[in-house]
Chain A
Amino acid sequence: MTDAPNGPWFTSLPPCETLVPCGRGRHCVRWEAGELRLASHADPEAELVLAALGGDKARCVEIAEAWQRHTADLTVLGIGPRSPADEVTVSWDDVDAAGQAARSGASVLGYGAGPLASPPRAAMARASIRYQQYQQEAGEASQRRLDMLSLLALGTGFQIRLAGQVVAAHADRLDEPDKLGRTIRSVLTAALDGRLAPVAEQWLGIDPDQVEVSLYRGTGWGSVELTGRGEQRRLRVSLPAWWLARVWACGLALTGRHLVVAVERAGWPDARVLALSAPGAEPVSRSAHAVSRPSGAADAPHWEI
């Protein structure tokens, strides 16, 4: 299952936006059709060039850069929300405080090496190289976490969309390691478990710890079966990795008391989905229609069959 012929994974997602403190004001950052857009910055690339020449970098531009750096970062799936109700609340004050802490901490990250009596040059050079390498790694790790905090501060709608983007970046290459050597299949299996288990609890009232998931590799949509009783009860679910992007991230996972296992025709606000009424049943094709929540929050889509 890939983007074609059903359109990109985000076809069933509406745009979402938020206000970000930037400079002396608050600017709108908008996600639409798989991209982050900075409505208040006409030419972000020109601003980047100016920043490289020593000018200040606008926070909106920093966020857009962070977004780009993390669209394939599997850590996003470990930290981000497991469901729309799992709100990870980070304020911009938090981001500012963390940024200050990182800047002040940078000076105390060294080894504290003392003066040497008569240090040979080669040993000093080796120590210096290792020290620089350590500082570089520590700086990169700190930057990654600051990035992550900024992205979390954008709110749940953005967090879920970023998760969809990360899944889409990896769903067709499960057998490869990522840049950090992580096994993509393992990470996506855990991501599926963490996101499907609460859906199954809502769907069947089953204990989430009794849900066993695996990544489906064959043709078709996968399988869902319920076995055992009492403590031995298990819901065994096998779904493709794309389910996380095309179904879960688009808010379609549990629609009209049905577990949606695939999207047949993506679209917003109307889509056609393959839905299960019960474990073991054959999925049926249904029309799904997005409705506005009473709060009007378009970044958290709600669908009905």
Chain B
Amino acid sequence: MDREGAETYLRLLAEAAMRGSLTPAAGPRAPNASTIMAAGHALTAVGALDPVTAEEILTDFRLATTARQLHHQSGGQGVTAAEWLTQGQAVLRPRQVPARSPGEGAPWEDPDHGRADHDRADRFVPVGLTVPFRAGAVRGELCLMSFAQTGSGARFIAAWQVHSPSLEVQLSHHYPGLIPFDEFTVTDDRGARYELDLTPGSDLAWPNMIRLSPAPPGTIRWLDVAPPYRQAIRVDLCSSEPAPAGDATRASDTTLSPGEHLLVMLAERLLTGTPEFPRRGLLAAPPTSPRQVVAGGFGVIIAALEAAGVLSPLSPVPARLATLCASLDLTGHGIAAPPTLDMPEPWLSLLAHYQRRKPEPTQMREGYAALAASLPELDGIRVILLGLQHTQGGSALHVLVQGQIPEPRPGPLDIDLNFPLSLWLKDSGGRWHAARPDRCHQAGQESAIRLRLVPPLTRPADRVEVLAGGRSAEVRATLPLRWRYLS
């Protein structure tokens, strides 16, 4: 990795942008602050450039351009000296978090929290039980997909079905405040009682991670989950350990460079960020959307990665990106490589989906499939699949990620560095579905993530093939599914 090359590239890009800002006739393709941010984000994402340095380059660029606008009165381009002083707000690195008030921190952020459990083996159990409940005027079902216990605590991965008499609609996504967590009782095989609540850090729109408090001992055999005024339903925790990844798991080595890996992530971000129907509507996307930023900066990003020595000029990935952009009607991407027909099968499948003139009729009912399958480690990251859910026309895969999770680096590329893997599901009809992080809750070296499937499932497959790809290897696993449906 050529760190000096990376820094030099970004500084030269800033110089080119500076020239463009001094030339009124500079074309729209001249680099600007957005281009510098995109390239800077790419270089920091692959670890070729320190985010602080990238930030300083961007700040110096802004100071330089605005210093030349101090006395421009026409066209609204002028800035005042006071405004000049405040140029360069951090965009590529998170701001320092101010000191937290005592007691403000959550248990999972406490370094001592769970230390006693550190050496205890993790436990992942598929559950697949539906617990009907009624609490006052609210009734519904708590659908337990799986149970996961790690050093960060114990939780059920669950789906909710909530009905109210006045509004016979499914409310679980939008009104989780109606879920009567505190009216459930949970008891283990030794008589100890636990409370259910939302995993701290989960927002109300993500009621899928339900924490048991306090965390039970790792040796309990079952839990009784009792809804208000109803008989408890027993959850057997000894049914399958350790969690397997299905019988048919194949791992193969890949040799993606850091630059190729980033480009694949960006490509999949493009693929999963593309609106559905009508297809022509995507041309009307605002030019500042992440999708446009990503596509518009591809040429610069590729050049930056090459300068940093993390992308070979002979790599086939840029040509695939060119094909992708052409297929999605994205122009101005600046990729020098000509398009290619050598495309990954999942990409082609998703592109074919977008080429459809109208949505495919769905045969999916709202429901879930229990899972507790651990994939072989990829790039130091272990992925445990904990449930598949289909509701309100969308499909989601729930996973727990452990290991060397990179630090999230927010930036214009809108990529999820804390889930630096490519994850696809192939249904029994042969269609591929990209799994893109939708909600994430990170606690140290562990993240609970809800992955949105793009496109959603359209038929209840009895098995899926999972393809997980990292930089150094990829894994294919076939998982049997047993769907349970909501009433």
Contact = CB atoms under 8 A, between A and B. Distances in A.
Interface of A: 75, 78-79, 82, 86, 88-91, 94-95, 97-98, 100-102, 105, 111, 113-114, 116-120, 123, 126-127, 130-131, 134, 142, 145-146, 148-149, 152, 180-183, 185-187, 189-190, 193-194, 197-198, 208-209
A79 B63 contact: yes
Given A89-B71, A190-B11, A116 B102 contact: yes
B102 A123 contact: yes
A130 B12 contact: no
Contacts of B68: 86, 88
B212 to A, nearest CB: 28
Chain B interface mostly: helix
B99 A113 contact: yes
B81 A97 contact: yes
Interface in B67-107: 67-68, 70-71, 80-82, 84-86, 96, 98-103
B79 to A, nearest CB: 10
Interface in B34-64: 50, 52-53, 56-57, 60-61, 63-64
Contact of B15 (A91, A100, A118, A190): A190
B270 interface: no
A149 B22 contact: no
Contacts of B82: 97-98, 100-101
A105 B81 CA distance: 13
B179 interface: no
| The 4 residue pairs across chains A and B that have the minimum distance between CB atoms | A127-B99, A101-B82, A190-B11, A78-B60
B291 to A, nearest CB: 27
B7 interface: yes
Contacts, number: 118
A123 B110 CA distance: 14
Contacts of A94: 70, 80-81, 84
Given A113-B98, A149-B84, A194-B18, 19 more contacts: A78-B14, A82-B18, A89-B70, A97-B80, A98-B82, A101-B81, A101-B82, A111-B98, A117-B103, A123-B99, A126-B99, A127-B100, A142-B85, A146-B85, A180-B56, A181-B53, A187-B11, A190-B12, A190-B15
A181 B12 contact: no
A182 B16 CA distance: 19
Contacts of A130: 98-99
Nearest to B22: A86
Contacts of B22: 82, 86
Contact of B19 (A88, A142, A194): A194
Nearest to B6: A186
B296 to A, nearest CB: 17
Contact of B4 (A82, A113, A183): A183
B8 interface: yes
B110 to A, nearest CB: 13
Given A98-B81, A197-B19, A90 B67 contact: yes
A1 B96 CA distance: 43
B90 to A, nearest CB: 12
A207 to B, nearest CB: 10
Given A186-B8, A189-B11, A101 B85 contact: yes
**Does more than half of chain A's interface fall in helix, strand or loop, or is it mixed?**
helix
B113 to A, nearest CB: 16
A102 B80 CA distance: 13
Contact of A190 (B14, B71, B84, B99): B14
A155 to B, nearest CB: 13
B19 A98 contact: no
Nearest to B66: A79
B63 A78 contact: yes
Contacts of A131: 98-99
Contacts of B53: 181-182
A168 B80 CA distance: 32
Nearest to A185: B4
Given A113-B101, A181-B53, A193-B15, A90 B70 contact: yes
Nearest to B68: A88
Contacts of B57: 78
A190 B63 CA distance: 16
Contacts of A182: 7, 53, 56
Contact of A145 (B16, B61, B85): B85
A127 B96 CA distance: 13
A183 B7 CA distance: 8
Contact of B102 (A97, A119, A146): A119
Given A79-B64, A86-B22, A113-B98, A186 B7 contact: yes
A194 B22 CA distance: 12
A206 to B, nearest CB: 13
Contacts of A194: 15, 18-19
Contacts of B96: 134
22 contacts: A75-B60, A75-B63, A79-B63, A91-B71, A98-B84, A101-B81, A101-B85, A102-B85, A113-B99, A117-B103, A118-B102, A127-B98, A127-B101, A130-B99, A131-B98, A149-B85, A152-B67, A180-B56, A183-B4, A186-B4, A186-B7, A190-B12
A81 B449 CA distance: 49
B266 to A, nearest CB: 25
A138 to B, nearest CB: 11
A101 B79 CA distance: 14
B325 to A, nearest CB: 20
A198 B411 CA distance: 32
Contacts of A186: 4, 7-8, 11
Contact of B8 (A114, A190, A198): A190
Nearest to B3: A183
A240 B50 CA distance: 27
B258 to A, nearest CB: 20
Contacts of B86: 105
B33 to A, nearest CB: 14
B47 to A, nearest CB: 16
A45 B245 CA distance: 76
Nearest to B11: A190
Contacts of A78: 14, 57, 60-61, 63-64
B71 A208 contact: no
B12 A79 contact: no
